[in-house]
A and B are shown apart, each in its own frame.
Chain A
Amino acid sequence: MQYLLLIYRDEKLAEKAAPSDLETMMKEYGEFTQGIVKSGQFRAGDALQPIRTATTVRVREGKAVTTDGPFAETKEQLGGYYMVEAKDLDEAIRIAARIPSARDGSIEIRPVRPMPKAS
């Protein structure tokens, strides 16, 4: 099964962090990513620009309404994601728990819904 691991973390933590801490974290992310690439569990993954760059669009009555900012203000913001292959939820939980931001943020685990193949 494929799982999307959504990384939520308070962005202010990164703004306030000392350069050496950021460096350590980048290194940890590098090691983690390499680890799941080697084990064959990695499908995709990216870090996102901060929430101040977010734009939300809704189409209402045929018209696109664009607003500045995320769709919802929350204490922790979506900052990145991994798409992984895992045999079940327990394996996905074990991978998610190794993401460095799990220690001061939260990882939401969402199974990818299988779509019927077009024939």
Chain B
Amino acid sequence: MRSISMPIDRLYRSEYGRLLAGLIRVVRDVQLAEDALQDAFAAAVDQWRDGEPATPAAWIFGTARHKAIDRLRRRDLEADRTRVLLDLEADRTDGPSPEDPLRLLFTCCHPALAPEVRVALTLRTLSGLSTEEIARAFLVPAATMAQRLVRAKSKIRDAGIPYEVPDDDALEERLEGVMAAIYLVFNEGYSATFGDALVRRDLCSEAIRLGRLLVDLLPGSADPRGLLALMLLHDSRRDTRQDANGTLVRLEDQDRSQWNREQIAEGTELVRVALAAGPPGPYALQAAIAALHAEAARAADTDWPQIAALYGILYAVQPTPIVELNRAVAVAMADGPERGLELIDRLETRGELAGYHLVAAARADLLRRLGRRDEARGAYLRAIGLATNEAERRFLEARLRENDGERK
């Protein structure tokens, strides 16, 4: 039994999204395609006992197509379904086309679907994650997630959301939504502080896989390269971001010998290509900043003036308070803590990030570097009060103790 289910498991992991994407194009219904594909994998477990077929993926695809026909025949035959059934019986597609996963990605990330649903649907269909796994990653009950997915699939069918890569004129706008969804998947895996480490690691790998798919299928677009580069460069540091106790380790204190050199090399090369392609988008700029960090052999070698300048350009493209905060921190490293404090003052006066612990934490660090320990203490306490997750709170408490030690 084990000898049969192993190759099937492997096939499921590596081919599920591609096979489903092809089936959806042929049967024109996400739910029907999912059900038929499950039927086909179940049939494989039963029929591959004496050895697997010569082309396992094609076997699954062909079987799933027949299962879809069976399912359609069993349904009440409305005029519309009869037409689909006739088309399907005449259809001779023997496998997914290279564009199918991209079609599915654009359908899952259609702006007519709510953003949180786009991410969940992408993970369910293209990545083949189970509803339970997705629910666990997003901290919602499995029943809630199941209902969201069912609703999204019926909206795709009933509202006529197309199964297509959009035309050139709409591509850029729609690509943004797709990239945002992929980056959200990555961030769920990278920044989340809940759930088990394995699920989170899977989310990161999956986001990188989807990013790679986007780069391969849209070789003419620069932005997907920037996104893939950004994810690779962040991911290269994943293992050094927490110590054995789960406490956050600052970038400057991380063990750089443990950073993944292969990912850094690939990410840096992608940044280079993305930047050469024309005015860089937000992902390419963030990736360029991450690449500068990755290239510094020691924290002290970091090219802060260059990073501060890149944050300045990023702010012009993406004027958010978070970018402004990061820029303030980079400016403080390049030009001294006073300049950084001025920028943080300006940010806080506007009140946009009120209640965000990282503003208070950044202020505390700068005050501490200026030797204003009492003021730093107040800011650390404020940051600890605002921090929402345990790892960050522990980290800030450690900084406060260091500050108090220096105070005496």
| Chain A residues in the interface with B (C-beta under 8 A) | 1, 3, 86-90, 92-93, 109, 111, 113-114, 116-117
Contacts and interface: CB of A to CB of B under 8 A. Distances in A.
Contact of B158 (A90, A113, A116): A113
A87 B28 CA distance: 14
Contact of B161 (A86, A89, A114, A117): A89
Contacts of A117: 79
Contacts of B86: none
Interface of B: 78-80, 110, 112, 158-162, 164, 166, 170
A94 to B, nearest CB: 9
Q: 3 smallest A-B Cβ distances: which pairs?
A: A88-B162, A88-B160, A1-B160
Nearest to A115: B78
A93 B158 CA distance: 15
Contacts of A111: 158-160
Contacts of A90: 161-162, 164, 166, 170
14 contacts: A1-B160, A3-B160, A87-B162, A88-B160, A88-B162, A89-B160, A90-B161, A90-B170, A93-B112, A109-B159, A111-B160, A113-B158, A114-B78, A116-B78
Nearest to B170: A90
A3 to B, nearest CB: 8
Contact of A114 (B80, B112, B162, B166): B80
Contacts of A89: 110, 112, 159-162
A1, A88, A90, A111 pick with most chain B CB within 10 angstroms = A90
Nearest to B110: A89
A84 B350 CA distance: 47
Contacts of B78: 114, 116
A19 B369 CA distance: 66
Contacts of B161: 88-90
Nearest to A109: B159
A36 B193 CA distance: 52
Contacts of A86: 160
A88 B106 CA distance: 14
Given A1-B160, A90-B162, 8 more contacts: A3-B160, A86-B160, A87-B160, A89-B162, A90-B170, A93-B112, A114-B80, A117-B79
A86 to B, nearest CB: 8
A109 to B, nearest CB: 8
Contacts of A3: 160
A86 B161 CA distance: 11
A1 B159 CA distance: 9
Nearest to B158: A111
A114 B80 CA distance: 9
Which of A86, A88, A109 has most B Cβ within 10 Å? A88
Nearest to B163: A88
A111 B160 CA distance: 8
A116 B79 contact: yes
A92 B80 contact: no
Contacts of B170: 90
A111 B112 CA distance: 12
Nearest to A94: B170
Contacts of B164: 88, 90
A1 B162 CA distance: 12
A87 B167 CA distance: 14
B165 to A, nearest CB: 11
B153 to A, nearest CB: 14
Nearest to A1: B160
Nearest to B167: A90
Nearest to A88: B162
A86 B162 CA distance: 11
A32 to B, nearest CB: 19
Contacts of B110: 89
Contacts of A88: 160-162, 164
A86 B159 CA distance: 11
B81 to A, nearest CB: 10
Nearest to B162: A88
A113 B166 CA distance: 25
A32 B166 CA distance: 24
Contacts of B166: 90
A116 B228 CA distance: 47
Nearest to B161: A89
A93 B112 CA distance: 10
A88 B164 CA distance: 10
Most buried by A among B78, B110, B160, B166: B160
Nearest to B157: A111
